[in-house]
Structure 1
């Protein structure tokens, strides 16, 4: 199995690593256009994450409904 095919290990300090790096980065060197482009990119990423979260939530609800003990 190639290194890229393996599941990534998740650790608490790495879960939000990229977001933490972005939040702590100085924005002083960016132009207004670059800041606007960054906002567009980050808003698109938020939409992507929310869509994935919604799908995951629906999947979990379906699994819970399927495996929930049936009451008489």
Structure 2
């Protein structure tokens, strides 16, 4: 068996993943990744809400 055959550690955040085996550094990195994703999702929500509001305003006039 070579090193290439060993399972690779997932690079992204997996929701519900066991946290017991992660170091403090890994947990802090995970938090920063999740916070960045939250900001990305909030920006998408704002963009979609602005589009919806513009469409609503257009069809009301």
Structure 1 residue ranges without an equivalent (≥5): 1-20
Larger RCO: 1 or 2 (CA < 8 Å, sep 6+): 2
Structure 1: 4+ residue segments shifted above 2 A: none
In structure 1, the residue matched to 2:46 is 54
RMSD of aligned C-alpha atoms? 1.2
- If the length of structure 1 is used for normalisation, what is the TM-score? 0.62
| Pairs within 5 Å for 1:4-23 | 22=15
Quote the offset at 1:25 in angstroms.
1.6
Higher helix share: 1
